[in-house]
Amino acid sequence: MKIRKAVIPVAGLGTRFLPYTKAIPKEMLPIMDLPVIHFIVEEAVNSGINEILLITSKDKKCIEDYFRPNKKLENFLKLRNKKECLQQLRRVPDNFKLYSVIQKEPKGLGHAILLSEKFVNGEYFTVFLPDDLIFSEKPVIKQMLEIFAKYKKPVVAIEKIERKKISSYGIIKPKKVCNGIYDILDIIEKPPIEKAFSNFGIVGRYILPPEIFKYIRKQKTNIKKEIQLTDSLKELININGILGYEFEGVRCDTGDKTEYMLAIFRYASIKKELTKRFKKEIKKMFRI
Ligand code: UTP
């Protein structure tokens, strides 16, 4: 069973990055010269995904524009013989089909995913939450697809969460299968620390079966008038079982200001762009 489809919800309001997100989606925040969404799509495409659906909002057209060819710009650069610029332009992945669906109001992650039902068309599919930018040798979703191929069960990415952030995550009750792989026995959404089953939280990569839609449809909206995903995942545990996979890689939650800055530095260090001068200035600035 080959998984070829990815759903990327980008219709949230991005309130943690206001006022920037008043005009520009947080998925377009730059990590040096590439927007966050570039890394997410690249991870999908480099893992064999060739159809991507954005759950988007009408104010976020620029995300699709980023992935569309711009013939006018290309022709201009060709005419001026700007080979280096053309090369930069060609870094944008284009070997996949891009679709989009509008979520009229941000009614929660569960609601956003429900809008992908037609696109998914009865197959297993992947979900990427684009805030989670993960630097790894092998793309994380590829690691997860390998687990899926072996166990034939839904897989979610998990990570050990620091104590003070436990109440911001869906926390799992794990039963070890083998190194890095756990059967999920239960999930609790954003628990106070004393109610957390473990320190393993679910992060933004999922491999889900099409049955998930029937559970999402059953969910009632919560106090914030949103449909969450966690309750549907809990139902899935009893039917298909779900595996938690502790991936190899370093995750930066780019929806958080500190981690966003760390993502830039990490990428710059990989690209060897942290020049001597940059490091010297940073040391001076922080007196280290
Ligand atoms: P977040 O919880 O990070 O919400 O959603 P957000 O609105 O984007 O960000 P903040 O907290 O206000 O700063 C997780 C992912 O689900 C998408 C978001 O775009 C984000 O990628 N999402 C969330 C939707 O597509 N629709 C929704 O109704 C809610």
Domain span at residue 282 reads 5-286
Average pLDDT over residues 195-208: 97
Instruction: Look over the chain and give the mean of its residue pLDDT values, rounded to a whole number.
Output: 96
Lowest mean pLDDT among 66-70, 149-153, 221-225: 221-225
pLDDT digits (tens, 9 = 90+) for 109-125: 999 999 999 999 999 99
pLDDT of 45 > 90? The answer is yes
Q: Number of structural domains, the chain?
A: 1
Q: How far does residue 85's CA lie from ligand 1's centre (Å)?
A: 33
Cα angle, residue 204 at apex, residues 200 and 210 outer, rounded to 5°: 105
Residue 221 pLDDT level (bands cut at 50, 70, 90): confident
Tell me the mean pLDDT in the region 81-90.
Answer: 96
- Summarize the confidence of residues 228-238 as an average pLDDT: 94
Local confidence band at 274 (pLDDT 50, 70, 90 cut-offs): confident
Q: How far is the CA of 166 from the centre of ligand 1 (A)?
A: 18
pLDDT tens-place string over residues 174-194: 999 999 999 999 999 999 999
User: If you average pLDDT over residues 30-50, what whole number do you get?
Assistant: 97
**pLDDT surpassing 90 at residue 239:** no
Mutation choice for ligand 1 from 105, 131, 168, 169, CB with most ligand atoms inside 8 A: 131
**pLDDT > 90: percent of the chain:** 92
**What's 156's domain CATH number?**
3.90.550.10
Q: Residues 127-144: what's their mean pLDDT?
A: 98
74-86 average pLDDT score: 97
Which residues does a 6 A CB cutoff place in the pocket of ligand 1? 9-16, 55, 103, 106-109, 111-112, 129-131, 255
pLDDT of residue 86: 97
Say yes or no to pLDDT of 149 above 90.
yes
pLDDT digits (tens, 9 = 90+) for 87-98: 999 999 999 999
The pTM (predicted TM-score) of the whole model is 0.96
Q: What is the mean pLDDT of residues 66-87?
A: 96
| Confidence category of residue 287, pLDDT binned at 50, 70, 90 | confident
